[in-house]
Amino acid sequence: MGNTVIWKPSDNSLYSNYLVYKVLEEAGMPPGVINFCPAPPQLVNDNVLAHPDMAGVVFTGSSATFNKIWAEVGKNIETYKTYPRVMGETGGKNFHLVHPTADMESVIAGTIRSAFEYQGQKCSACSRAFFPKSKWPDLKTALVQRTKQCKQGHVEDFDNFLCAVIDKAAFDKNVRYIELAKKDKSCKILVGGGYSDKNGWFIEPTIIQTTDLNCVLLKEEIFGPVLTVYVYDDAAKGAWKSVCEAVNVGPKYGLTGGIYCRDRDKIREASDILRHAAGNFYVNDKSTGSIVGQQPFGGARKSGTNDKPGSADFLQRFVSPRTIKESLEHTRTIWYPHQGQPPAEA
């Protein structure tokens, strides 16, 4: 798009980012177009975000860090030659909402995949699930059994379904929420709940059931293999509408969500109520259902600016359009036809 870029990688993924950078160079990217710059965050803030030529920021990470970047840009707004474009894809508290008509085998497989692949460390991972009471006994048995079957170990062994979380900070955060669930009378750990830091930062795939819609485990991003489940009474009058509204107002995020349902009227109703709850909304698919290169991705609320990377529209954020008009007819009069005869010449 004609831009030059400073690429500041995450401290936790320096090597993989560097390899991608070298691949781009080998593929023919001219020198200086992308400038790989590992650095402490504050050093980037002090030099890059304060520079007059800084024209845009693209960020993927936590909502808290994005808030700081946005504040830093605002603080420096008088410095810039042009108003910067600020784009972010941040946190999520993504959901699976299940109707009694759903294909329950798909629900089980999709939920386990979405919640525990990549150790739940995907911005779109399923972190909360809402199941109908009439189907819960069988769902509960299957979810527990199949979660226990998920092998965990070293990342180089492809038989393992999940490995360790990325660092000690992530480990400590997951442990904090698991311990909170153990102390909360509204919560019950159905499977998992164990953890160990002896040979890596390992958190067991964990499913927690809560009876409290206001439980923090249904509201706050954990970013790990911890799934919180709420069972709603689908026999109650207006149950589907009520649970949709609960999903919508729960957390502050709005990234992804999936509903499993074979009733088209209920699908439409959920889609309307959850319009702002998920920038990527899936019907009978898991919350991690986006396919790179095929589906634009992103959400709003505290999940980011929803600029939809993966679409042609996103490229408009990286240009400054100029409109040109050239007149081929010459206008030599001041007065418009509706004003009648022009005044007499002086």
Task: List residues with catalytic annotation.
Answer: 89, 123
Instruction: Tell me which residue of 194, 202, 199 sits closest to 165, measured CA to CA.
Output: 202
Residue type, 39: A
Pairing of strands 202-203, 206-210: unpaired
> In this structure, are residues 92 and 123 in contact, taking their beta carbons and an 8 Å threshold?
yes
234 CB-near residues (< 8 Å, 6+ apart):
99, 100, 132, 133, 134, 135, 240
Angle (nearest 5°) at CA 189 between 103 and 255: 55
Q: How far is CA 46 from CA 38, 61, 73, 143, in A?
A: 14, 19, 11, 48
> In this structure, are residues 259 and 282 in contact, taking their beta carbons and an 8 Å threshold?
yes
| Ramachandran bin of 284, using left for φ above 0, alpha for ψ from -120 to 50, beta for the remaining angles | left
The H or E element that residue 56 is part of is: strand 56-60
Residue type, 147: T
Residue 227 φ/ψ, nearest 5 degrees: -110, 130
